[in-house]
Amino acid sequence: MAAVGFALRAPDGASVTLERFPILVGRVTPGGPIPDVDLSHLDPNEAVDSHHCELNLEEDGVEVHDLGGISGTWVDGRRLPPGGRALLRLGGTLRVAGVTLSLGPSSARRPSVSAPPPPGPPFGGWGTTDASRPAPPPPSAIPTAPAPAPASSGDDLSGAPPLARPELERGAEAVRLEPGFQLRALRHGRWESVGEVLSEGVVDDALRTVRRVLDLTEDAASGGGAAGDLSIDFVAPPLTGHAFLQLRLDRWEPPPAGAIAQAAAIVDGGGTVLLGGRSPRRLAVALAAHLDPRGRRPRVLDWAEPRVPGPEGWPQMRLDVPGSRQAALEGDPLLVIEAPTGELGPILRALPRVAGGTALGIRSASAPAALVGLVAALTSDPATSAAWVAATIDAVLIERSGDWELGRPLFAGGRWSLGPLDGEP
């Protein structure tokens, strides 16, 4: 049994391999968590909850944990009580609301649970059952060598479709997916072909994942954006004959220790620092590590990765709880990570805070663009807002084309620039 992997199969023959336990089973809903196994395509009545049940690997099968879905969870015909658990063995059936699935073996090796699952999008939809367009095989149906553990650099691959992750984890700089070709991986300036020829269904499945990650509609014919350390670009019919998807890995290099220490000292002193670049969350984590260990731990308002807890010991404010923003603005150092404009405005208007410094992490390509974003979030007279931002933000630490800039924001002649920090020549 130790060498057997598991797969869930739908009545129409579509299947998805179970890996990276624990696995969240549910349906994608606006603003809700992205389940690892998305049953949306099999749930026309929308009876499946966004986080309906969880699967955990056991020696003799898969443990099913009901998460309180109002439409119920059944194992081998027996309904679980809310929060109940039951073992699903090979050949058994799992019913999630009105969707019935069976557990069978997969060709993949038995998954490991020795490491926690990385955050990210689901393993993929179940595809379509239209006879003219057969359901795409799951990503695990594309033969690849067993995926090694992610690189020690900690690259964030949460935006990558599952079939692209193994090559990125092996160190590929970029991955291309196009029907009619093998998956292609860029290493040391050379493209290599990997595995079997990709079908249109497999690439469509990857595109569905990317559209969810980038928050695009299902009919978006082109798009691009960043997710974690990935730059994502795609184009699909009718703009082109065949879908094309490319993911490029932008590895993040931390700022110099001296620069991050200067920024942390400003926050320790009650000031405000704007953090910008491709990875605002990593930058905020790096700054927090330099804060005075004798002081209070920073509170965190994090919109970047709501399913990922902050570093151990950080008070992570729950954004869905009334009053959490106001509580975060009181007293302790505050880290604000990728707040939407509607939330960033009230936080900015609370600056400078009575006690505790503030770090504002936003995704931006340059200091002027980041500062213009702050002005826009204030939704008042641009000239007045720009003067207020220049007077209130004590420092900007930002990544630009792989280099780091640290300075005080200056606004003159309608343009932003960075000048020396107070006390610097």
User: In the chain, what are the domain boundaries?
Assistant: 1-141, 145-251, 257-419
Please check the confidence at residue 83 and state whether its pLDDT lies above 60: yes
Give phi and psi for 257, each to the nearest 5: -60, -35
The model's confidence at residue 179, banded by pLDDT at 50, 70 and 90, is very high
Predicted pLDDT of residue 107: 58
Burial class from Cβ neighbours inside 10 Å (0-12, 13-18, 19+) for residue 100 reads middle
Structure tokens at 90: 């090979």
Predicted pLDDT of residue 136: 30
Predicted pLDDT of residue 389: 95
Predicted pLDDT of residue 406: 96
Cα 199 to its chain centre, rounded Å, is 26
Residue of higher predicted confidence among 363 and 2: 363
The model's confidence at residue 385, banded by pLDDT at 50, 70 and 90, is very high
Q: How far apart are CA 60 and CA 389, in angstroms?
A: 60
The model's confidence at residue 295, banded by pLDDT at 50, 70 and 90, is confident
Please check the confidence at residue 420 and state whether its pLDDT lies above 90: yes
Please give the mean pLDDT across all residues of the chain: 79
| pLDDT mean over 65-72 | 79
Count of residues in the chain: 425
Give phi and psi for 273, each to the nearest 5: -120, 135
Rank 8-12, 53-57, 135-139 by mean pLDDT and report only the highest.
53-57
Please check the confidence at residue 345 and state whether its pLDDT lies above 70: yes
Predicted pLDDT of residue 264: 94
Minimum mean pLDDT range among 33-42, 77-86, 208-217, 354-363: 33-42
Give phi and psi for 147, each to the nearest 5: -70, 130
The model's confidence at residue 148, banded by pLDDT at 50, 70 and 90, is very low
Residue of higher predicted confidence among 113 and 139: 113
SS3 label, residue 255 = coil
Predicted pLDDT of residue 98: 84
Q: Quick one: which of 277, 392, 422 has its CA closest to 337? A: 277
Predicted pLDDT of residue 141: 28
Predicted pLDDT of residue 22: 81
Predicted pLDDT of residue 418: 95
> Are the C-beta atoms of residues 159 and 230 closer than 8 Å to each other?
yes
Cα 384 to its chain centre, rounded Å, is 36
Structure tokens at 258: 């001296």
> Are the C-beta atoms of residues 3 and 109 closer than 8 Å to each other?
yes
Dump pLDDT digits (tens) for 95-132: 998 889 999 887 544 444 433 333 333 333 343 233 33
Cα 295 to its chain centre, rounded Å, is 30
For residue 52, the 8-state DSSP code is: -
User: Can you spell out the DSSP letters for 36-51?
Assistant: SEE-GGG-TT--S-TT
Minimum mean pLDDT range among 221-230, 241-250, 378-387: 221-230
Minimum mean pLDDT range among 163-167, 324-328, 366-370: 324-328
We find that the CATH architecture of domain 1-141 is Sandwich (2.60)
Please check the confidence at residue 423 and state whether its pLDDT lies above 90: no
The model's confidence at residue 229, banded by pLDDT at 50, 70 and 90, is confident
Q: How far apart are CA 280 and CA 416, in angstroms?
A: 21
Structure tokens at 367: 């200091």
Predicted pLDDT of residue 75: 93
Predicted pLDDT of residue 388: 94
Predicted pLDDT of residue 21: 78
CA distances to 3, 112, 146, 236 from 109, in Å:
6, 9, 8, 33
Peptide bond into 352 cis (omega under 30): yes
Minimum mean pLDDT range among 143-147, 199-203, 254-258, 396-400: 143-147
Please check the confidence at residue 348 and state whether its pLDDT lies above 80: yes
Structure tokens at 36: 């690892």
Q: What's the CATH class of domain 145-251?
A: alpha beta
Q: In what order do the strands lie in the sheet with 395-400?
A: 299-302, 334-337, 358-363, 272-277, 395-400, 403-412, 415-419
Dump pLDDT digits (tens) for 236-292: 998 888 899 999 887 777 899 999 999 999 999 999 999 998 778 888 888 988 888
Residue with tokens 């090694």: 148
Predicted pLDDT of residue 298: 81
> Are the C-beta atoms of residues 184 and 197 closer than 8 Å to each other?
no
**257-419 topology per CATH:** Rossmann fold (3.40.50)
Q: How many helices (H) and strands (E) would you count in the chain?
A: 8, 24
Predicted pLDDT of residue 124: 37
The model's confidence at residue 321, banded by pLDDT at 50, 70 and 90, is low
Q: How far apart are CA 306 and CA 76, in angstroms?
A: 34
The model's confidence at residue 332, banded by pLDDT at 50, 70 and 90, is confident
61: left (phi over 0), alpha (psi -120 to 50) or beta: left
